Amino acid sequence: MTLDPTQPPPDPLAAATHPDPYPYYRELARGRPFHRDAMLMLWVAAGPAEVAAVLSHPACRVRPPGQPVPPPLAQSPAGTLFARLIRMNDGQGHAPLKTVLQRQLATLDLNEVRAAASAWARRLPVTRDHAATANRWSSALPVIAIAGWLGLTAADDETTASRIAAQIASFAAAMSPLAGPAEIAAGIEAAVSLQRLPLCDGTPWALALREQARAAGVDDEAIAANLLGLMVQSCEATAGLIGNTLLWLAHDAAAADDLRAAVARVLRADPPIHNTRRFMAEDARVCGVPLRRGDAILVLLAAAATADGTPANAPAPAPAPAPDNPAEHHWTFGHGAHRCPGDALAATLAEATVSALLARGIEPAALARAYRYRPSLNARIPHFL
């Protein structure tokens, strides 16, 4: 569906792919920071304090009660993989691995990641169809770089790396509520192959991650699933960040002189992830409203970002950004227990990919002449035509 840029989005789910949803988000954040959308049958958190409160509330969980896996994936290899991901789980069982992942991701040498991504970029082909090239690299390069980093493919095996990137994209697409039967079947097939991937040596960083996880009592299946999970989490969101940065450069060519700053600006002003959801595990008051077990809340990260300043009463403020962390604190990476641990990695991969595309002659202004957003209820990912 093409949305009219002169009209506000019809509802908060359509906003993620609207040409300019930000005035609408600002109005929601200021005027209706926590409300019920009767048509969508969802509670909607839009103000920064409300978004932070929901994402920190102990009764607000990442999955609906009694439904650990989306029904279309249940009883399938894709469902098995989904159920092992820390992103999709609350509770103490996943805490040890989560701690190891967070700690290891915080120690990543971003210069080394940038160099590895640039080395892959030099090998990827540029065709005469620049739009197709930009689409392909935006999705594939971050995943390929992470796969190499983790030891899921040898550093010079472009064929395996590209196949893994395609399978990760299929699995990620199958997790979407918009996935049809063909996408779900492809995602299940991809999950089978991904779970059979043998591990190569990878970097010392990846070996340390595996050793620390084993020492913390995490079994190998959970470790392997969550290594795949890093790529799944990276896939669509980082593609959106890359595409939105290319669009930004189309209107501000000088921003290419400092790509790191441009990416940081886009994370704030035109972010790739616009919302996430939470589900009530029990009856409880949230933002002063009594909610019932099973109620669903749409958490509008992109609306919170339009409100000025940091939330005054955020229960768990994010730690101060490290000086070399280009991602700083951005709402698009979430908040609270499930906040994205890959923020700095994502910003670095986006910067490396955009830099590589520009170096190979891709012109943002030409790309911006024809594009649409990929159909999505939560992500803003340009597809260049």
The nearer residue to ligand HEM, 126 or 287, going by C-beta atoms, is 287
Q: Where are the beta strands (DSSP E) in the chain?
A: 34-37, 42-45, 60-61, 276-280, 284-286, 289-291, 296-299, 371-373, 382-384
Residue in 234, 249, 295, 241 with CA at minimum distance from that of residue 270 = 241
Q: Pick the stretch among 74-82, 177-185, 233-241, 356-364 that binds ligand HEM (CB under 6 A).
A: 233-241
Q: On the CB side of 142, how many CA atoms lie within 13 Å of its CA?
A: 32
Considering only residues 316 through 375, tell me which ones interact with ligand HEM, judged by CB under 6 A. 332-334, 338, 340-342, 345-346
User: How do beta strands 34-37 and 276-280 pair?
Assistant: unpaired
Give the nearest distance from C-beta 87 to ligand HEM in angstroms.
Answer: 4
Residue in 80, 153, 73 with CA at minimum distance from that of residue 120 = 153
State the chain's maximal CA–CA distance in angstroms.
57
Give the nearest distance from C-beta 330 to ligand HEM in angstroms.
Answer: 8
Outline where 199-342 has alpha helix (H). 204-215, 220-251, 259-269, 301-304
Contact letters for ligand HEM, residues 268-307 (x by CB under 6 A): ----xx--x-------------------------------
Q: Which of 17, 153, 170, 234 is close enough to bind ligand HEM by CB under 6 A? A: 234
Give the nearest distance from C-beta 129 to ligand HEM in angstroms.
Answer: 25
Give the nearest distance from C-beta 22 to ligand HEM in angstroms.
Answer: 16
Give the nearest distance from C-beta 342 to ligand HEM in angstroms.
Answer: 2
Considering only residues 71 through 100, tell me which ones interact with ligand HEM, judged by CB under 6 A. 86-87, 98
Give the nearest distance from C-beta 80 to ligand HEM in angstroms.
Answer: 18
The nearer residue to ligand HEM, 131 or 230, going by C-beta atoms, is 230
User: How do beta strands 284-286 and 276-280 pair?
Assistant: unpaired
The nearer residue to ligand HEM, 72 or 272, going by C-beta atoms, is 272
Cβ-count burial 27-56 (b if 16+ within 10 Å, e if not): ebbeebbbbeeeeeebbbbbbbbbbbbbbe
Q: Which of 187, 229, 243, 364 is close enough to bind ligand HEM by CB under 6 A? A: 229
Angle CA(240)–CA(341)–CA(269) in degrees, nearest 5? 40
Q: Closest CB to ligand HEM belongs to which residue?
A: 342
Q: How far is CA 232 from CA 253, 262, 332, in A?
A: 31, 24, 16
Residues that bind ligand HEM (CB under 6 A): 62, 86-87, 98, 105, 229-230, 233-234, 237-238, 241, 272-273, 276, 332-334, 338, 340-342, 345-346
